Amino acid sequence: MIFVSSKVSDGNMSFFREDKKTVLENRKKFLKRLGINPNSVAEVKQIHSNKIISVTNRLPSSDTKADGLITNETGIYLMVKIADCIPIGLYDPKHNAIGLIHVGWRGLEKDIIKNVVKSMKKNFNTNPKDLIVKFGPSIGPCHYRLNLWQLAEDQLQKLSVLKKNIDNPKICTYESKDYFSHRRSVVENLKEDYRFITTLGINLRNS
């Protein structure tokens, strides 16, 4: 599996914050470096909901509102836009299935984690005990009133995901100058409030 986040040096990845041409170019360059065809990337319009979309080889339209995607199609990459919320990738090696969610406090409150695990169970017969879970760069308790990391880990474990299978490198977006942070851009009064992307896919060579 591949679970990667773009960096500040890759540029802004949100169409809402910069002209379309620049963003498309940034995305294309980043994906190309990873060997990913931009036409195989599935994304949704994020609304801080608990909604999960199941992706087949027909990609969802760009105005599909949701905050999570699942698939068992090899060669389809899932993608979320991030600046402080947690990108959480889930991989079921037994059924070769993946899920990717965008998780902020609102999503946590609305049980998006429960929904993605439930959707993977329903669609792919996933057993939560088999899930390999990875957290991407996101705001840490050092810079936010809530410990989103802990809350998310607790929810995962409550759903029978094994602690040893949860990997959180604890990279705080506010602190790390490698990633965009919405909160930092507000506090420091920056003009740019950009987003990076996190992508998850099953690659053909070594999943």
| Site residues for Zn ion per CB under 5 A | 140, 142-143, 172, 174-175
Q: Which is nearer to Zn ion, 124 or 196 (CB)?
A: 196
Contacts of 90 (CB under 8 A, 6+ apart): 98, 99, 100, 101, 116, 117, 120, 131, 132, 133
Least distance CB 197 / Zn ion (angstroms) = 21
- Considering only CA atoms, which of 91, 7, 92, 105 is closest in space to residue 49? 105
Q: Which is nearer to Zn ion, 151 or 159 (CB)?
A: 151
Least distance CB 188 / Zn ion (angstroms) = 14
Q: Which is nearer to Zn ion, 64 or 147 (CB)?
A: 147
Least distance CB 15 / Zn ion (angstroms) = 27
Least distance CB 187 / Zn ion (angstroms) = 12
Q: Which is nearer to Zn ion, 43 or 84 (CB)?
A: 84
Q: Which residue is nearest to Zn ion (CB)?
A: 172
Using alpha carbons only, give the angle 174, 156, 81 rounded to the nearest 5 degrees.
Answer: 40
Tokens of 201: 């896919």
Spacing of C-alpha 149 from chain mean position: 14
Name 98's bridge partners: 71, 91
